[in-house]
Amino acid sequence: MAFWRLYYHLIWATKERQPLITHDKEAELYNYIIGKADFLNSIIHAIGGIEDHIHLIASIPPSLSIADFVKNIKGSSTHFLNQNYHISNNAIIFGWQRGYGVLSLGSKQLDNAVSYVRNQKNHHSQGTAIASLEKHDDEA
């Protein structure tokens, strides 16, 4: 394989922006995504978010399109959560909203992007989230 250093900031939301990433699911979801990315020969530098969306700082090899990476992560993580979490007799229906946001990063931006993603909860609770880094679709 060729030498590559590609960094992306990816954002996507839960279906209808519902608060589906609860505290009890978050660590398992994030660990699952990290493991799936590893299986896809990709690297997750940081993962974070709040109840209705997540951010990833990822390195995706040039042999895998960004769209295929996101499709694979979103689809398999939905399946994982829906197979592993149930309330009483009613299954929790977890899903991701269509679409995603992606920004390319240079190596000099990597540390700041990682810090931003790891501190998502603080940014949202303190009102310091950066609007341009929170977009996950074509909405204005």
3-state secondary structure of 2: coil
Q: Which residue has the tokens 């974070």?
A: 48
> Quick one: pLDDT at residue 96?
94
Longest dimension (CA), the chain: 50
The CA distance from 117 to 98, in Å, is 21
- Residue 139 pLDDT more than 60? no
> Quick one: pLDDT at residue 88?
42
- Residue 10 pLDDT more than 80? yes
> Quick one: pLDDT at residue 137?
63
The CA distance from 55 to 9, in Å, is 7
Task: Kindly compute the dihedral angle of the four CA atoms of residues 15, 21, 130, 72, in this order, to the nearest 10 degrees.
Answer: -60
pLDDT tens digits, one per residue of 18-76: 999 988 889 999 999 999 999 999 999 999 999 999 999 999 999 999 999 999 999 99
> Quick one: pLDDT at residue 138?
54
41, two tokens: 């020969």
Sign of CA dihedral 99, 51, 23, 89: negative
50, two tokens: 């709040």
> Quick one: pLDDT at residue 132?
62
Which helix (H) or strand (E) covers residue 73, if one does? helix 66-84
The CA distance from 53 to 137, in Å, is 12
The CA distance from 111 to 63, in Å, is 25
Q: What is the pTM of this model?
A: 0.87
Give the pLDDT mean for 77-88.
78
pLDDT tens digits, one per residue of 96-138: 999 999 999 999 999 999 998 998 877 677 777 676 676 666 5
